[in-house]
Amino acid sequence: MLKKLTQTDDFNQIIQKGEWLVDFSASWCGPCRMLEPNLEQYAKEGNVLQVDIDEFSDLTSSFNIMSVPTLLAYRDGQIISKSIGYIDLPEINNLFKQK
């Protein structure tokens, strides 16, 4: 499932259960646009939450996101791994195998 964050308050509720790949990105970011097809492919079997850093700057700042794209892998509300920059689909899948 591919979901776009619409309200900051929804973030914690969404990531609390199961595995979620959170994509901090921006529409003006070239590597973010390159990553999008991989996220769409991953979302066919996994959960992806897209966070626009310009729209949700407070949330972005709270996670100290300095570069995009930044991917945070969550399992039941806990960050288990992080990736900065473009990665391919096998690397996305490996984010959940790290812990």
pLDDT value, residue 98: 66
Q: For residue range 15-55, what is the model confidence (pLDDT) as tens digits? A: 999 999 999 999 999 999 999 999 999 999 999 999 999 99
State how far the alpha carbon of 94 is from the alpha carbons of 82, 85, 89, in Å: 11, 15, 9
pLDDT value, residue 99: 58
Q: What is the mean pLDDT of the chain?
A: 95
Which domains, and CATH codes, for the chain? 2-84 (3.40.30.10)
- Which residues are known to be catalytic? 29, 32
pLDDT value, residue 55: 96
